[in-house]
Amino acid sequence: MDEREHNSGPMSSEGEKAGSAINAELSATQPTEPATAKLVENDPVVLDAAPPPGPIATEEIAREPVSPSIRLDKKHPLAIRWMHWINFPVLFTMIWSGLLIYWNDSDNAYKHPHAVYRIGVGPFTLVRFFPPWFWKAMNAPYHVTQGLGYHFFFMWLFAINGILYVLFTIFSGEWRFVVPDRKSLIEAIQVTLKDLHLIKYLPPQTKYNGAQKIAYTSVILMGAGSLITGLAIYKPTQAHWVTTLLGGYEMARWEHFLLTMGFCGFFLIHVTQVVLAGWNNFRSMVSGLEVKPVQEPSLEAERKSWG
């Protein structure tokens, strides 16, 4: 028997099986290299990324709606603001020029009988309103004609502005804010006590309190009185019936002068109160709008209620 035939017998088959088993075991113990990816130009490269996170849970905070605590309210109409700011320099000029005119009768060096700046009995003088240093400070001596020129020019502006103001307040209904009512006197007393720090509360008010209503109405009447007494002094012959009703020429001069002093007192108190009230009050006379708490009554709503 050939040797090759002898080797291809049953013993040869068993050897092959044993070799195959050994090779399979060795292959299992050796690491395998990953297959190399073939990159082609312009092919998209997909990277394994972490999955996108789910929706973020947000805690919804229940909030109550914020309510405003202040608001803008229309306090002064445009016409009133214009007439107010026109009247201020006009009235100031009227007072200044009037003092230049009255300097004549204040100087006793010429023994003038019309000493309207003196309070006394007969030759005895209790008090004189203006000392000599006052006249020198305002350069009043010997400026009578200058005072007459200014006084007679600005009196027309003063009269026209005052008449327009009264007519506007009547036809617009703004007089309801200005004219005192039956509660105004009591409110004025309470306001005065509050300003003196004797009480800590103020009476309710809309546009003006009781003290302001009395003061502003008084100023309007004082302006009318100044025009009437000024006419009696300016034209004592032509308007003799007015001069007579006022008690005569000398009395008309006294009344005119006392009204002027009343305006000076009003200026002092008014400016002081404006400063104490603060910027909001002053701003309302410039822009017409006032910042006020929402719980206070609305002036514009009250105007609409007039119909």
pLDDT of residue 61: 54
- Residue 204 pLDDT greater than 50, yes or no: yes
The pairing of beta strand 118-121 with beta strand 124-128:
antiparallel
Report which residue type is found at 57.
A
**3: confidence class by pLDDT, cuts 50, 70, 90:** very low
pLDDT in the model for residue 127: 76
- So what's the pLDDT on residue 153? 95
Two tokens, residue 147 = 């005072």
Alpha carbon distance 157, 152 (integer Å): 10
Of the listed ranges 114-118, 217-221, 226-230, 242-246, the one predicted with least confidence = 114-118
Percent of the chain with pLDDT over 90: 46
Q: How far is CA 158 from CA 76, 87, 99, 165, 242, in A?
A: 20, 7, 17, 11, 20
Q: What percent of the chain has pLDDT over 70?
A: 75
pLDDT, tens only, 291-305 = 988 888 888 888 888
